[in-house]
Amino acid sequence: MTLPALSHTVDRFPGSAADAAVLVVPDTAAFPEALEDYPGLAEVLTAIGFTGSASAFARVHLPSLTSLPLAVVGAGSTPDGAAVRDAAGAALRTLTGFGHVALDLAGDLDQFAAEAAEGAVFGGYRFEGYRAKPGKSRAGEVTVHSESLSDEDVSRARILGDALALVKDLVSVPAEWQSPAELAQSAVDAVADLDVAVDVLDEAALAEQGFGGVLGVAQGSDRPPRVVRLDYSPADATGHIALVGKGITFDTGGLSLKPAASMVGMKFDMAGSATVLAALRAIASLKLPVRVTAWMCITDNMPSGKATRPGDVLRMLDGTTVEVLNTDAEGRLVLADGLVAASRERPDVIFDVATLTGAVLVALGHRHTGVMGDDEAVAEYLTVSEQTGELAWPLPLPDYMQESLDSPIADMINANMGDRAGGTMFAGLFLQRFIGRTSDEDDAPRIPWVHLDVAGSAEHGSSPYGFTDKGPTGATVRSLVAFAEARAQEA
């Protein structure tokens, strides 16, 4: 990964050791008061027609203010933390070719200095990739000039930046170099310097323990599956959050083969596992007093003479039998095993994260995460997602659809081939059946659970915006961390 180093100072950028400067400003309605500390800048921006609209970017020349190359970026008409985060991210993403950038905040935007620091780190990320010649470099160092920014704010911004970068790095690796075993090793390496226990289950252990969903999806591939359990359990933990991630390292659809165009990009079908790994690593790095257990359910989904056939029946970890009608609805099969395993430890809440359904793109587009599950837990997640600026939207789990999961020969089917409507909700209802109870009593309530369908939000396919590049986004990582922080504060 390539991330800028981050520091802060109370000095303004004219005295900085940087070689370029960025100023975040509100829209022109706030001029000239917001720019009273920057003589002549309001007139220059007005002359060039700069409006200060959200993430608007312009290079200006004002040697009377600073000898540094100067850029301004807009925070919009009603700037808040999310707008300032996006503005700083857009600036660091756009202003290339400078090694050290000084970032300043005009007017009362200094109250959002922590968000600006986050945006600067997020926007400064770059995946170098496999090009023969590297592209234009982004800043290797950013200094945020603020009177309110603390060392803790800077540390948190860097930790969150590292978490997003980990997801983006893992998702960007071609599947040829990221087998289930290699992704499992990446997980081990990612937490090697933290107080996190790791257990990697290979194909023999999975068969012995009965992970029938993972093994059923994996059996068409020459590369055996892995399930990785990571456990951050501080001595002062006051609660327990479980995270389960879908980790399909390449998804051809199996024997229900995808069309060629739909198969492009399917290396990113392991984004859910990368997300839960990154969230746990960030929570452990922040030393939050909350126990977090993450389950990464990792396999290929390939067609071969060994592959699961439509009509085959798989037995999940809890003994539930599933008639597989569509081998391209494989994510819910591996998640089912992960949810059962997570439930056995009876955490306070379970999250699963998955690039699960194309239907969620139809319903919510490419930026919103679909959220389903227990009403109270969903509401709690939506609150923190709004605070972090990550777009999310609740979807129902209607009881009337339960009968559509019925199979004539097994406990349930994995896909309703006769009716494709409501595919995202069907998948959510399927997963709900694998959430365990809060106690051994048959009538005990299910463990609170939140399902995050990131099939749209985990990858951005069009023009960059804010701190978001084209490509993997790291969606839901920051909200999961914020959820853990909120639980820690409650305790």
d(CA 381, CA 483): 6
Are residues 13 and 102 in contact, defined by beta-carbon separation less than 8 angstroms? yes
Residue 105's φ and ψ, nearest 5 degrees, are -125, 125
d(CA 365, CA 377): 23
Mark the binding-site residues, compressed into ranges: 246, 251, 269, 328, 330
Residues 6+ apart with CB under 8 A from 202: 224, 226
Tally DSSP H helices, then E strands, for the chain: 14, 19
Are residues 270 and 170 in contact, defined by beta-carbon separation less than 8 angstroms? yes
What is the structure's pLDDT at 442?
Answer: 86
Residue 300's φ and ψ, nearest 5 degrees, are -80, 165
The one-digit pLDDT tens for each residue of the chain (491 residues) are 689 999 999 887 766 789 999 999 998 887 888 899 899 999 999 999 999 999 999 999 999 888 899 999 999 988 999 999 999 999 999 999 999 999 999 989 999 999 999 999 999 999 888 888 877 789 999 999 999 999 999 999 999 999 999 999 999 999 999 999 999 999 999 999 999 999 999 999 999 999 999 999 999 999 999 999 999 999 999 999 999 999 999 999 999 999 999 999 999 999 999 999 999 999 999 999 999 999 999 999 999 999 999 999 999 999 999 999 999 999 999 999 999 999 999 999 999 999 999 999 999 999 999 999 999 999 999 999 999 999 999 999 999 999 999 999 999 999 999 888 999 999 999 999 999 999 999 899 999 999 999 999 999 999 999 999 999 999 999 999 999 999 999 87
d(CA 138, CA 17): 17
pTM of the model: 0.97
d(CA 393, CA 132): 41
What is the structure's pLDDT at 132?
Answer: 83
258 has catalytic annotation: yes
CA atoms within 13 A on the CB side of 428: 25
Q: And the tokens for 4? A: 């800028």
Catalytic residue selected from 258, 346, 367, 446: 258
Mark the binding-site residues for Mn(2+), compressed into ranges: 246, 251, 269, 328, 330
What is the structure's pLDDT at 14?
Answer: 63
267 has catalytic annotation: no
Question: What is the DSSP secondary structure assignment for residue 475, as one 8-state letter?
Answer: T
Residue by residue, DSSP assigns 382-399 as HHHHHHHT--EEE----G
Catalytic residue selected from 158, 332, 433, 478: 332
d(CA 70, CA 369): 36
Are residues 147 and 38 in contact, defined by beta-carbon separation less than 8 angstroms? no
